[in-house]
């Protein structure tokens, strides 16, 4: 069996003898990009993606309120709004009118309540636009669009002056189809553990199980579930009633993932998000988030202490 030879020469042995030149500087530019991400992310103590299986579970709202809960406990916090096509974090934080300040050191992110640093596509587009348009070929190929969005996320990590922060929450767009979770996992190999936001119907229908499996396949450690819109608070007497039967707890224990806490459906929470003003820290919903934030730090401390023993 004769090997196919290039012009009568053995290409394999030619390549072996040659040193691969990078004079077009493509490899080195890719390496530099990765180094810049690493340098910024080294100063962020905990990097926590927030995921959900489907849209409409209030994931961004949970992210914002978790960030606020951590900031109220004295931590330095940042949020990366990784939903490039429907960014809503800035509006929920009441800072939609602000923008980045471009300096030599990088892009300085706007700060919201409690000095929470926010990075979002929303800061780069005019507010009349409700979808992002990219320059380039009219027939946008999904491959090109994917590369583009990956580069945006990379720049959000590498070119932003995040500074020294304790917690960076990454609000990922819903669903595995959006492909952002693998991108984030690729850019930040040392993610500290994901939070999955779900709603009771997803738990009962087994939808959340798919999200969990998906995140685990990506090699993400899971910190736990946050069950949103878990019950109903009577607007008259303030009593909380479960919208669902006690099945939830049983199903959750089968999933082998801790339930970090439940956030009941409450109008004041959605109103606070619409107005871009955080709920008062004495509000019972704020106390729920504070409790969840403590569960998260416990889980992280536990993880760290386990690793120290190895």
Partner 1 sequence: MKFICLKCESYLLYDMQEKIEESIGITFKCPQCGYRLAMIANAGETQLVHSMGIKIGGRTSPPEALEMTRTNLDEGAETGIDWSEEAERRLEQIPPFVRPMAKTGIERFARERGYREITLPVMEEAKKRFMG
Q: Which residues bind partner 1 (CB under 8 A)?
A: 6-7, 9, 11, 14-15, 17-18, 20-21, 23-26, 28-30, 33, 100, 102-107, 124-126, 129, 132-137, 141, 143-144, 147-148, 151-152, 154-156, 159-160
For residue 278, the minimal CB distance to partner 1 (Å) is 27
DSSP code string of 244-305? S-THHHHHHHHHTS-EEEEEEE-HHHHHHHHHT-PPPTTSHHHHHHHHHHHHHHHHHHHHHH
Tokens found for residue 248: 């939830």
| Closer of 126 and 305 to partner 1 (Cβ) | 126
Return d(Cα 251, Cα 262) in angstroms, integer: 15
**In sequence order, what are the residues at sequence separation of 6 or more whose Cβ sits closer than 8 angstroms to the Cβ of residue 108?**
100, 101, 102, 160, 161
CA-to-CA distance for 75 and 167, rounded, in angstroms? Answer: 7
Question: What's the CA gap between 221 and 107, in Å, rounded?
Answer: 30
Residue among 3 and 17 whose Cβ is closer to partner 1: 17
Of the pair 25, 267, the CB lying nearest partner 1 is at: 25
Contact 183/156 with Cβ under 8 angstroms?
A: no
| 302-to-97, 194, 298 alpha-carbon distances in Å | 40, 15, 6
Q: Which is nearer to partner 1, 17 or 267 (CB)?
A: 17
Which residues on neighbouring strands pair with residue 259, listed in sequence order? 225
- The DSSP secondary-structure symbol of 96 reads T
Q: What are phi and psi of 216, to 5 degrees?
A: -70, -35
Q: Rounded to whole angstroms, how far apart are CA atoms 130 and 138?
A: 18
Residue 82 or residue 223: which is nearer to partner 1 going by CB?
82
When the beta carbons of 70 and 156 are compared against partner 1, the nearer one is 156
Least distance between partner 1 and beta carbon 81 (Å) = 13
> Closest approach of Cβ 63 to partner 1, in Å?
21
Residue among 3 and 133 whose Cβ is closer to partner 1: 133
Task: Report, in Å, the least distance between residue 2 CB and partner 1.
Answer: 18
CB of 190 to partner 1, least distance (A): 22
> Smallest distance from the beta carbon of 77 to partner 1, in angstroms?
21
**What is the rounded distance in angstroms from the CA atom of residue 37 to the CA atom of residue 160?**
9
Q: Which residues pair with 231 in a beta bridge?
A: 242
Whole-number minimum distance, CB 64 to partner 1, in Å?
Answer: 23
* Beta carbon nearer to partner 1, 8 or 238: 8
Polymer length in residues for the chain: 310
CB of 26 to partner 1, least distance (A): 6
């Amino acid at each position: 069996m004769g090997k196919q030879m290039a012009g009568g020469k053995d290409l394999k042995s030619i390549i072996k003898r040659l040193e691969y030149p990078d004079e077009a500087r493509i490899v080195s530019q890719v390496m530099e990009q990765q180094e810049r991400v690493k340098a910024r992310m080294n100063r962020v103590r905990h990097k926590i993606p927030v995921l959900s299986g489907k849209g409409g579970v209030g994931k961004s709202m949970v992210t914002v309120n978790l960030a606020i809960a951590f900031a109220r406990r004295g931590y330095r916090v940042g949020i990366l709004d990784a939903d490039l096509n429907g960014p809503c974090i800035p509006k929920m934080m009441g800072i939609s009118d602000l923008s980045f300040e471009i300096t030599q050191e990088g892009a300085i992110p706007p700060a919201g309540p409690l000095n929470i640093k926010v990075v979002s596509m929303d800061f780069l587009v005019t507010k009349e636009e409700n979808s992002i348009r990219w320059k380039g070929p009219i027939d946008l190929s999904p491959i090109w669009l994917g590369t583009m969005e990956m580069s945006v996320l990379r720049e959000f990590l590498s070119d932003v002056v995040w500074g020294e922060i304790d917690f960076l929450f990454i609000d990922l767009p819903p669903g595995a189809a959006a492909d952002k979770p693998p991108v984030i996992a690729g850019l930040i190999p040392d993610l500290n553990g994901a939070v999955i936001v779900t709603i009771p119907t997803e738990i009962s229908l087994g939808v959340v199980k798919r999200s969990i499996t998906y995140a685990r396949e990506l090699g993400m450690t899971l910190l736990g579930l946050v069950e949103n819109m878990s019950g109903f608070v009577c607007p008259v007497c303030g009593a909380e009633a479960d919208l669902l039967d006690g099945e939830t707890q049983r199903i959750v224990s089968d999933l082998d993932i801790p339930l970090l806490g439940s956030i009941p459906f409450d109008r004041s929470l959605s109103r606070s998000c619409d107005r871009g003003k955080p709920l008062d820290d004495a509000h019972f919903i704020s106390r729920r988030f504070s409790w969840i934030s403590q569960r998260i730090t416990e889980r992280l401390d536990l993880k760290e202490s386990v690793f120290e023993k190895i």
